[in-house]
Structure 1
Amino acid sequence: MNSKWICIVYSVLVLSSSLYFGASVSPIWLAVATACYAAAHAFDKLLPARLPIQLALLVAVHWLSGTAWCIPLYLLQMCSLFYAIPSFRTALQINMLLTLAGIAVAFANRAASFETEVTAAYSIVSCFLFACLYRKVYSDIEHQKQQLTNEKKHLSTHDALTGLYNFQEFHKQMEKLVGSGEPVILVLMDCKDLKSLNTTNGFQGVNKILKQVAQLLRIIFPEAELICRYGGDEFAIVLKTDDVDHSIHSVTQQMAVEFPKLTGIEINFGIASYPSDGMAKDDLILVAEHNLYMMKRDSWLKREEHMLRSEKLRVVGELASGMAHEIRNPLTTVKGFLQLSKAGHYNIEPWYDLIMDEINRMSMLTAEFLQFSRPHVTQFKIQSIQKCVYRVLSLLDSETTRLGHHVQFDHEEEPVLMLMDHDKMLQLLLNLVKNAFEAMPEEGRVHIRLYTLEKQAVIEITDNGKGIPESDLEKVFIPFYTTKDSGTGLGLSICHKIVQDHEGTIEVESFVNKGTKFTIMLPTVGTKQPEAAVTASGTKISV
């Protein structure tokens, strides 16, 4: 039930009480005034000046009724005035006049005693004060309601972290800007490596950076029609322009130079202009996202190129350092023997063999290093791996007998064919089997197993030697790394390179005092050799 129906009900109660107690001097006019007052509330929307009519009728009903039962009507009417009239001063003035009119009627009623009149006046003044209090409470509630409405609207259209427009509002505003037909520029930007900072700075540190980016965008583009957080670490800026080419050049300069200089954050960005790049919002966004992707791609390629160049320089430095270390040792020996020969009047005969051994060692070292590092041509032909393994066993037959080792070779009956360089494959297998011989005590066992697995030839070379410590397994393929008293440390590195040249993989598994197993996986060309494959060959230059 709203206030107007409460006023109607109370007016009927005032009429009834006045007639029942005989307080009215003119019951007929009281009934007419009450009916008019109730109609003024029931049909208030049809009256052109309802408030003055309602107030006048209220005073008339009060005067004709001769009772204090009208006090609630004064309170309801005053509260309604504060609610209906936006201006507080105007509503206050009207309510003061209504209060004075009510006090005047209370004192003009001759039938009432002085005490009754004072009580009625006191009640009317209290109604006025309560109405003012109602206005204050109502105003506070409306203010809080408006704040909540504004906050809700802001949260629905703005990003909570940066205070910029969010993704949904961006599309709405962008639709309006494009619909206006004025030339605009859309810029989509993405902050590089910002996600990776979560691990170092934490999400709070990254959030702080995003806030700074948003503030800086407002400073750099104060004339922007629209700045929004497009998503994550991406932002969008929309600018109106009369000269599209000049604006694009200016924006590119600010994004590529000024923004990174001020923030220390590298960015990628894509630009699209209306109407040259599209007549619809989605077309502009598509062009800008494509340009952003292309810039990201170029940036990624440059970074990969830089990392590859740095890695090459690092490897060259390690190789040079290792080579210098390995050559310095025999040079120091030769230098010492020459100094001794000088002291002995250049008689080098006692040290001749030692000097020649060191010189031969340097020659072998430089030969292996050149073989490892320089580009070389490999001749690929389709051949059987079994024949290659049998060739290795025949070459090592005398050494196997001399050392007392036993070599076992297990393979499939069908020939396993692959495109390979026969000499390089021999070198690979010889190096691995010789390493197995050196790692084993007398009467050791070497097991070579060959089988196919998903179009891959798998060669396993297992020994029962002393094994390799777990801490050294990751280093066995590093150039110049060796645990032998005599050796260059390039043997397994060369093996690794040969396997890579054949587009295969090599793995090592070892247990101390139990043995080591090398597993080589190489691509095959089938188990049966076609006639056309007999002459198939190719040349490949490996670096």
Structure 2
Amino acid sequence: MGYNWILFGYTVVICGSSIYFERSLHPALLVLIAILYIIAHFTEKRLVISVFLQIVLLIAFHSVSQMAWCLPLYFAQIGKHFHKIRTPGSAVLVSLLYTLTFALISYSYMKLTLYNVSAFLFSSISCLTFAFLFYQYIYVLRNQTQQLDSEKKHLTTHDALTGLYNYEECHRQLGKLVQQGAPIALVLIDCKDLKSLNTANGFHGVNRILKQAAQLLRIMFPEALLISRYGGDEFAIVLESNHIGQLTHNIEQQLTVDFPKLTGIEMNFGMAFYPNDGEYKDDLIFIAERNLYMMKRESWLKREEHMLRSEKLRVVGELASGMAHEIRNPLTTIKGFLQLSRADNFNVRPWYDLIMDEITRMSMLTAEFLQFSKPHATQFKVHAIDDCIQRVLSLLDSEAARLGHEIQFEHAGQPLYLMMDQDKMLQLLLNLIKNAFEAMEEQGFVRVHLSNHNQSAVIEISDTGSGIPQSELEKIFLPFYTTKDSGTGLGLSICHKIVQDHQGTMEVESESGKGTKLTITIPLASHDAYSTETSPSH
């Protein structure tokens, strides 16, 4: 039931009781005033003077009805005023006025007996007490409402983690600052590698870092017009930009030097200036995001360059270490023979052949190392890979017969042309098939299969040798890695490099006791290259 309908019920009861108990001297007038009083309440939103009419009609209704039962109606009027009153002093004043009005009207018809006086005093004190309690209640409700509204507004405009403005409010505030027309600078900041810390520190650790970053930005930029969390690990700062050069220097100093020193986190950032870079909010954001992206890209490129340089240094170190190790062994042998020859009046004849073998080994090792590490001039021309394979098989035919091995060649059915260095390709195939021979201690079978797949020549060389353990498959292309007693460990590395120089790939499959299969894939020569190579000269 609505508030006004409750007043309607009270008014009807008081009016009827006054007439029934013959308290009112003018029943018709009482009914008229009661009707007008109810109408004044139901039309208070339409009439500006309705509140004033309610007070006047309440006083008239109380005077004509001569009923102390009107006290609840006074309470109702006090409550309506309290909803609009903001200070305790005003509430006390309104309570006193209503209480005095109730008292004066009650005195007009009340007989001065001890009971009546006591009832009047009780009613007046009750009115004041009710007014005080009611105002306290409304005051508490109003404060709670204001607090909830404030918290709601704060939650809708601020980031819950850092306490800074959120993305939407950042755009709203930036738009207002641009409309004001004063020169400003927008700085978008991105924390480097913060996402990668999730695995090391967990999201709680990253959240703690974000809080610290937000607090530090407040300290470093106390004059900022706006600081907000722009994204997951991004922040936005708006500053006055009366002196662009000085401001740019200060921002770069604080974000590239001071901030990483204090937090250990490096920053990427992009700046945009109003009105130099744009006259609208979206223009500033676009320029700042573009500059941030360019700085990120530069940072990524530097990191990739550093990683590539580090990888090259690591490879050079491994090569130098392997080379030193391989050369040290024959040098130690030669040194020992020379020491023995000194005891025999420098007669090296007994060890001459061994010394020459070690020297030959070092010479071969040095030659292979230079071939592997030093770039050589290559003569790329269009040749049929079928012819290269047939030539290699002819060269190895006698050796295969001597060892008791059988070679089978399965060609593609039509010539496959490659842009290649024919000498290098012959070296590649010779090395791989010889390796297959060495892998088969007894009579074995080597299969060479050539096919055309996705505009590439696919050469498969498989043997029935002892195979390679799975744990060593990843190492076979590493320099100086070998399972042979007399090998240098550079053969497969050189083969792999030849394939890479021809823009191809080399894969290996092996199973212990069943053999090994090497798969080489090299792109076929384009039609234009083939036409150029084969066209007759005029």
TM-score class, shorter-chain normalisation, is: over 0.9
Residue 124 of structure 1: how far off its partner (Å)? 4.9
Query: Which secondary structure state, in structure 1, belongs to the residue aligned with residue 185 of structure 2?
Result: strand
> For 1:138-185, what per-residue CA distance to the aligned partner results, in whole angstroms no more than 9, with x for missing partners?
222222222222222222222222122222222222222222222111
Map of 2:298 onto structure 1: 298
Whichever residue aligns with residue 295 of structure 1, its letter is M
Of 279-288 and 306-315, deviating more is: 279-288
> For 1:315-334, what per-residue CA distance to the aligned partner results, in whole angstroms no more than 9, with x for missing partners?
00000000011111111111
Map of 1:289 onto structure 2: 289
Map of 2:495 onto structure 1: 495
Of 371-380 and 120-129, deviating more is: 120-129
Closer/same/farther in 2, CA of residues 440 and 188 from structure 1, 3 Å limit: same
Write the distance in 2 (CA, Å) between the matches of 1:172 and 1:165. Answer: 10
Residue 413 of structure 1: how far off its partner (Å)? 1.8
Residue 193 of structure 1: how far off its partner (Å)? 0.8
Query: Which secondary structure state, in structure 1, belongs to the residue aligned with residue 525 of structure 2?
Result: coil
After superposition, residues 350-369 of structure 1 pair within 5 angstroms as 350-369=350-369
Of 64-73 and 168-177, deviating more is: 64-73
Map of 2:255 onto structure 1: 255
Whichever residue aligns with residue 418 of structure 2, its letter is M
Residue 457 of structure 1: how far off its partner (Å)? 0.4
User: What are the ranges of 5 or more consecutive residues in structure 2 without an aligned counterpart?
Assistant: none
Residue 366 of structure 1: how far off its partner (Å)? 0.8
- Contact kept in structure 1, 2:91 and 2:135, CA below 8 Å: no
Query: Which secondary structure state, in structure 2, belongs to the residue aligned with residue 396 of structure 1?
Result: helix
Query: Which secondary structure state, in structure 1, belongs to the residue aligned with residue 78 of structure 2?
Result: helix
Of 434-443 and 95-104, deviating more is: 95-104
Residue 345 of structure 1: how far off its partner (Å)? 2.6
Query: Which secondary structure state, in structure 2, belongs to the residue aligned with residue 237 of structure 1?
Result: strand
Q: Is 1:415 aligned to residue 440 of structure 2?
A: no
Residue 55 of structure 1: how far off its partner (Å)? 4.7
Whichever residue aligns with residue 521 of structure 1, its letter is T
Map of 2:333 onto structure 1: 333
Write the distance in 2 (CA, Å) between the matches of 1:175 and 1:495. Answer: 64
Residue 78 of structure 1: how far off its partner (Å)? 2.6
- Contact kept in structure 2, 1:273 and 1:284, CA below 8 Å: yes
> For 1:481-512, what per-residue CA distance to the aligned partner results, in whole angstroms no more than 9, with x for missing partners?
01111110000000010000000000011000
Residue 236 of structure 1: how far off its partner (Å)? 1.4
Map of 2:167 onto structure 1: 167
Write the distance in 2 (CA, Å) between the matches of 1:38 and 1:381. Answer: 109
Map of 2:443 onto structure 1: 443
Query: Which secondary structure state, in structure 2, belongs to the residue aligned with residue 200 of structure 1?
Result: helix
Closer/same/farther in 2, CA of residues 56 and 113 from structure 1, 3 Å limit: farther
Query: Which secondary structure state, in structure 2, belongs to the residue aligned with residue 519 of structure 1?
Result: strand
> For 1:180-234, what per-residue CA distance to the aligned partner results, in whole angstroms no more than 9, with x for missing partners?
2221111111111111111111111111111111111111111111212121211
Whichever residue aligns with residue 78 of structure 1, its letter is I
Query: Which secondary structure state, in structure 1, belongs to the residue aligned with residue 83 of structure 2?
Result: helix
Map of 2:382 onto structure 1: 382
Query: Which secondary structure state, in structure 1, belongs to the residue aligned with residue 164 of structure 2?
Result: coil
Map of 1:478 onto structure 2: 478
Of 131-140 and 521-530, deviating more is: 521-530
- Contact kept in structure 2, 1:190 and 1:234, CA below 8 Å: yes
- Contact kept in structure 2, 1:183 and 1:244, CA below 8 Å: no
Whichever residue aligns with residue 405 of structure 1, its letter is H
Map of 1:202 onto structure 2: 202
Pairwise CA RMSD: 2.5
- Contact kept in structure 2, 1:365 and 1:488, CA below 8 Å: yes
Query: Which secondary structure state, in structure 1, belongs to the residue aligned with residue 224 of structure 2?
Result: coil
Residue 344 of structure 1: how far off its partner (Å)? 2.5
Map of 1:427 onto structure 2: 427
Closer/same/farther in 2, CA of residues 327 and 372 from structure 1, 3 Å limit: same
Write the distance in 2 (CA, Å) between the matches of 1:482 and 1:293. Answer: 47
Q: Is 1:278 aligned to residue 278 of structure 2?
A: yes
Write the distance in 2 (CA, Å) between the matches of 1:156 and 1:450. Answer: 68
Write the distance in 2 (CA, Å) between the matches of 1:46 and 1:88. Answer: 27
> For 1:432-474, what per-residue CA distance to the aligned partner results, in whole angstroms no more than 9, with x for missing partners?
1111111102211000000010001000000010000111000
> For 1:42-82, what per-residue CA distance to the aligned partner results, in whole angstroms no more than 9, with x for missing partners?
5557465945x655654553344233322321321232232
Query: Which secondary structure state, in structure 2, belongs to the residue aligned with residue 176 of structure 1?
Result: helix
- Between the two proteins, what is the percent identity of the paired residues? 59
Write the distance in 1 (CA, Å) between the matches of 2:394 and 2:241. Answer: 83
Write the distance in 1 (CA, Å) between the matches of 2:32 and 2:117. Answer: 25
Whichever residue aligns with residue 264 of structure 2, its letter is G
Query: Which secondary structure state, in structure 2, belongs to the residue aligned with residue 271 of structure 1?
Result: strand
Whichever residue aligns with residue 81 of structure 1, its letter is H
> For 1:107-145, what per-residue CA distance to the aligned partner results, in whole angstroms no more than 9, with x for missing partners?
664469754664464355334433433322322222222
Write the distance in 1 (CA, Å) between the matches of 2:421 and 2:280. Answer: 60
Write the distance in 2 (CA, Å) between the matches of 1:165 and 1:110. Answer: 65
Map of 2:509 onto structure 1: 509
Write the distance in 2 (CA, Å) between the matches of 1:141 and 1:349. Answer: 114
Q: Is 1:321 aligned to residue 321 of structure 2?
A: yes
- Contact kept in structure 2, 1:82 and 1:88, CA below 8 Å: no
Residue 39 of structure 1: how far off its partner (Å)? 5.7
Whichever residue aligns with residue 534 of structure 2, its letter is V
- Contact kept in structure 1, 2:110 and 2:116, CA below 8 Å: no
Map of 1:540 onto structure 2: none
Write the distance in 2 (CA, Å) between the matches of 1:138 and 1:376. Answer: 93
Q: Is 1:311 aligned to residue 335 of structure 2?
A: no
Q: Is 1:155 aligned to residue 155 of structure 2?
A: yes
Of 250-259 and 486-495, deviating more is: 250-259
> For 1:249-284, what per-residue CA distance to the aligned partner results, in whole angstroms no more than 9, with x for missing partners?
322222222222222211111111111111222222
- Contact kept in structure 2, 1:462 and 1:518, CA below 8 Å: yes
Closer/same/farther in 2, CA of residues 427 and 530 from structure 1, 3 Å limit: closer
Of 379-388 and 254-263, deviating more is: 254-263
Query: Which secondary structure state, in structure 2, belongs to the residue aligned with residue 84 of structure 1?
Result: coil
Write the distance in 2 (CA, Å) between the matches of 1:79 and 1:49. Answer: 15
- Contact kept in structure 2, 1:102 and 1:121, CA below 8 Å: no
User: What are the ranges of 5 or more consecutive residues in structure 1 without an aligned counterpart?
Assistant: 537-543
Q: Is 1:264 aligned to residue 264 of structure 2?
A: yes
Write the distance in 1 (CA, Å) between the matches of 2:515 and 2:148. Answer: 75
Query: Which secondary structure state, in structure 2, belongs to the residue aligned with residue 270 of structure 1?
Result: strand
Whichever residue aligns with residue 62 of structure 1, its letter is H
Write the distance in 2 (CA, Å) between the matches of 1:461 and 1:403. Answer: 18
Write the distance in 2 (CA, Å) between the matches of 1:425 and 1:110. Answer: 128
